[in-house]
């Protein structure tokens, strides 16, 4: 984000081209008269003729004083969501007398002032107009408050005799909501008697709506045995029904630290920059080449964005995915940060709750403060606690165990981008990373020993990890 | 760069009604959809300016002054051509045009020929392109329609002078 204030492009100013016409006319005519050479008049004639066509409008604009100074501003039609394309509307005013207008158009939230477009001004249009509106699709990367556009303006009259700008337009920023990754609901740890609640969810559990039959397993309640199937087959089957309960999911965020890979920078050496620039210039030839170049650039930025994901980014991704999955399943979900600056989104369900969750996450910031004791998390009895943490200190692991000890079902989702950190690490990081890995491994072992599944968000396939973890936990018991 | 240009009388079309904007006092607002489309990069114009400058300098040296590039005048004109291409907003284009006229004055006998007309057209191209290039960054994508008025002006002025030269030559 730029900190410099907006500076309007200012009034129309004369350029070197304006004085060139006068100079060439005087020089050519004077030299021709002085030397008696009519061919010098011929050399100056086209420029003087072009001046005769363009200067009257220039004089009228410069000294007539009727027209408003050109300006630009941008607006967004609707809310923005990460990893999407949305239109930005750039409005240029006072360009009736301009022949060419160059404006910076945003390309992505990562490059909001990077792309430039030169457009016909008011005089170059069939119907002269004071206003121009430029529509541009912007790719949205990241989440939270993002700079969307800064439409700097540069305009010239015919043959560049007068010029306005470039000015520094007002920046517009927008709160970008985190995108939602498609994720199946987590298979929750089993609980005797099902999940208590008042409405039918789409989760298998204690209820009356039959899904199917499965083989009887020791521990199944006798009232759930399907006796007719037993009479026909001579084998015990258990009814699987839709739960009439609602699971209450408390998403607890440990965002005290932001850990991420070292910044992988773009080429910085002069030679590297020159080679990259040359390659880009060559690839710009033709519309198809330009389109390909744009796509390549966007792919590169996508990869760069991904390689820079921090534990905060992974937390936001994981929370939106898990919240959306469980809210889609009819569960009630709450979100809170569990540090001393506790922020909380109360329990809720339905589609509006996922929007609330995303707004909540858009304002998420990291504060390096103490973790709140579990008794102050205000967890409702029986709530399933999903703790999102990079597990870089003992406090988070201890909190997970404390929540488990208070009778909650606890799942820990590890949000440390370890692979990304390792990929971008340097030799000097080896010792610190080795210590971090060992300490984290021991910590995770302790959490697992308490019967708490630990899932690693960076590795993906979170539901498979959960299923494996549940099997592992049963084996431990 | 731009795929379409369309006139629209009200601000509430195309699903962008949420953007507040002042009334346009009856003038139609022109909407341009920026994106990948018909257009070309700005450095093409810079390249064209370089070619035109080099053409004007070499033509005036070889045909006009009868001097080679490896002379003081040659170095001067080529240097000005390079400076014009690099900094079209500076005084260099003016000096190049005056330099070409001076070289022409030094070398020829004063007769009007087709060569004079071609050189005059090149000088007009130097004037127009340097004026335009001063406002178009090389990285900008230039909408083709944006250059149409300048092209029309060039054809009008250069064409009128060339026709005049042809008539003068024939007569």
B33 pLDDT higher than 80: no
B5 pLDDT higher than 50: no
Q: Mean pLDDT check: name the lowest of A160-164, A225-229, A234-238, A282-286.
A: A282-286
Helices (H), A339-429: 351-362, 394-405, 418-423
pLDDT digits (tens, 9 = 90+) for A164-179: 878 777 777 777 787 7
**Is the CB of B34 less than 8 angstroms away from the CB of A135?**
yes
A197 pLDDT higher than 90: no
Measured between beta carbons, the chain B residues lying within 8 angstroms of A16 are 89-91, 93-94, 134
Residue B162, helix vs strand vs coil: helix
- Distance between CA atoms of B39 and A294, rounded to whole angstroms? 14
Q: What is the CA radius of gyration of chain A?
A: 33
**Is the CB of B140 less than 8 angstroms away from the CB of A45?**
no
**Is the CB of A46 less than 8 angstroms away from the CB of B158?**
yes
A178 touches A335 (CB < 8 A): no
Asked if the C-beta of A23 comes within 8 angstroms of chain B's C-beta atoms, the answer is: yes
Is the model more confident about A434 or about A475?
A434
**Is the CB of A37 less than 8 angstroms away from the CB of B110?**
yes
pLDDT digits (tens, 9 = 90+) for A327-370: 887 788 999 999 888 889 988 888 889 889 988 988 888 888 88
A252 pLDDT higher than 50: yes
ipTM for the whole complex: 0.79
Cα–Cα distances (Å) from A181 to A83, A185, A324, in that order, read 10, 12, 8
Q: What's the gap in Å between the CA of B153 and the closest CA on chain A?
A: 7
Angle of helix B114-133 relative to helix B43-59, nearest 10 degrees? 150
B82 pLDDT higher than 90: yes
Q: What's the gap in Å between the CA of B74 and the closest CA on chain A?
A: 19
Residue of A28, A53, A136 lying closest to B34 (CB–CB): A136
Q: What's the gap in Å between the CA of A105 and the closest CA on chain B?
A: 8
Residue A445, helix vs strand vs coil: helix
Q: What does the DSSP 8-state code read for residue A339? A: B
Q: What's the gap in Å between the CA of A300 and the closest CA on chain B?
A: 18
A311 touches A416 (CB < 8 A): yes
pLDDT digits (tens, 9 = 90+) for B123-137: 999 999 999 998 888
A312 touches A364 (CB < 8 A): yes
Q: A122: nearest CA in chain B?
A: B30
Is the model more confident about B107 or about A162?
A162
Measured between beta carbons, the chain B residues lying within 8 angstroms of A136 are 33-35
Element (H, E) at A292: helix A286-307
Q: Tell me, what's the pLDDT at A334?
A: 92
- Distance between CA atoms of A211 and A414, rounded to whole angstroms? 33
- Distance between CA atoms of A73 and A89, rounded to whole angstroms? 8
A305 touches A139 (CB < 8 A): no
A21 touches A161 (CB < 8 A): yes
Candidate ranges A30-34, A291-295, A300-304; pick with highest mean pLDDT = A30-34
Q: A161: nearest CA in chain B?
A: B131
Q: Which of A125, A123, A119 is nearest to A104 (CA)?
A: A119
């Amino acid at each position: 984000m730029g900190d410099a204030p907006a500076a309007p492009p200012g009034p129309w100013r004369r350029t070197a081209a304006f004085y060139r016409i006068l100079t060439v006319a005087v020089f050519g005519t004077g030299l021709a008269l002085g030397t008696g050479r009519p061919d010098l008049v011929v050399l100056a004639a086209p420029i003087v003729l072009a001046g005769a066509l363009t200067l009257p409008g220039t004089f009228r604009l410069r000294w007539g004083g009727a027209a408003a100074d050109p300006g630009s501003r941008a607006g967004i039609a609707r809310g923005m969501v990460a990893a999407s394309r949305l239109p930005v509307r750039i409005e240029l005013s006072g360009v009736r007398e301009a022949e060419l207008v160059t404006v910076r158009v945003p390309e992505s939230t990562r490059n909001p002032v990077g792309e430039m477009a030169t457009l016909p001004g008011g005089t170059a249009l069939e119907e002269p107009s004071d206003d121009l509106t430029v529509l541009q699709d912007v790719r949205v990367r990241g989440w939270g408050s993002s700079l969307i556009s800064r439409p700097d303006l540069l305009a010239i009259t015919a043959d560049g005799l007068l010029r306005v700008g470039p000015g520094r337009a007002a920046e517009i920023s927008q709160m970008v909501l985190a995108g939602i990754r498609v994720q199946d609901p987590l298979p929750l740890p089993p609980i005797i008697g099902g999940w208590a609640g008042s409405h039918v969810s789409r989760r298998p559990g204690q209820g009356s709506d039959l899904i199917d039959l499965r083989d009887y397993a020791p521990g199944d309640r006798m009232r759930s045995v399907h006796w007719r199937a037993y009479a026909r087959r001579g084998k015990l089957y258990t009814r699987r029904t839709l739960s009439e309960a609602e699971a209450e999911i408390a998403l607890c965020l440990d965002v005290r630290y932001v850990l991420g890979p070292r910044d992988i920078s773009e080429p910085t050496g002069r030679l590297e920059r020159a080679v990259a620039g040359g390659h880009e210039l060559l690839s710009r030839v033709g519309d198809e080449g330009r389109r390909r170049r744009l796509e390549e650039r966007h792919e590169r930025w996508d990869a760069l964005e991904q390689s820079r994901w921090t534990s905060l980014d992974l937390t936001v991704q994981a929370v939106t995915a898990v919240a959306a999955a469980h809210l889609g399943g009819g569960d009630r979900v709450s979100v809170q940060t569990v540090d001393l600056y506790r922020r909380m989104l109360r329990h809720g369900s339905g589609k509006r709750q996922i929007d609330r969750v995303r707004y909540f996450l858009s304002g998420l910031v990291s504060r390096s403060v103490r973790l709140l004791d579990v008794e102050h998390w205000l967890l409702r009895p029986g709530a399933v606690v999903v703790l999102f943490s990079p597990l870089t200190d003992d406090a988070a692991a201890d909190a997970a165990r404390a929540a488990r000890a208070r009778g909650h079902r606890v799942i820990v989702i590890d949000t440390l981008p370890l692979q990304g950190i390792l990929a971008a690490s340097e030799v000097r990081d080896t010792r610190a990373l080795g210590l971090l890995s060992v300490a984290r491994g021991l910590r995770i072992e302790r959490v697992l020993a308490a019967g708490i599944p630990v899932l690693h968000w960076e590795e993906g396939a979170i539901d498979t990890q959960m299923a494996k973890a549940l099997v592992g936990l049963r084996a431990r018991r | 760069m731009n795929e379409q240009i369309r006139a629209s009388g009200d601000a509430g079309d195309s699903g962008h009604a949420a953007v507040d904007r002042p009334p346009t006092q009856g003038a139609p607002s022109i909407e341009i959809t920026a994106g990948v489309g018909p257009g070309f990069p700005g450095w093409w114009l810079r390249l064209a300016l370089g070619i035109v400058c080099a053409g004007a300098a070499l033509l005036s040296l070889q045909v006009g002054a009868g001097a080679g590039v490896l002379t003081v005048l040659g170095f001067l004109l080529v240097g000005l051509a390079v400076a014009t291409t690099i900094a079209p907003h500076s005084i260099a284009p003016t000096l190049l045009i005056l330099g070409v006229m001076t070289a022409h004055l030094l070398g020829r006998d004063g007769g009007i020929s087709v060569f004079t007309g071609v050189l005059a057209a090149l000088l007009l191209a130097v004037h127009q392109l340097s004026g335009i290039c001063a406002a178009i960054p090389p990285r900008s994508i230039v909408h083709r329609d944006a250059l149409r008025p300048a092209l029309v002006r060039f054809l009008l002025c250069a064409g009128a002078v060339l026709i005049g030269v042809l008539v003068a030559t024939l007569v």
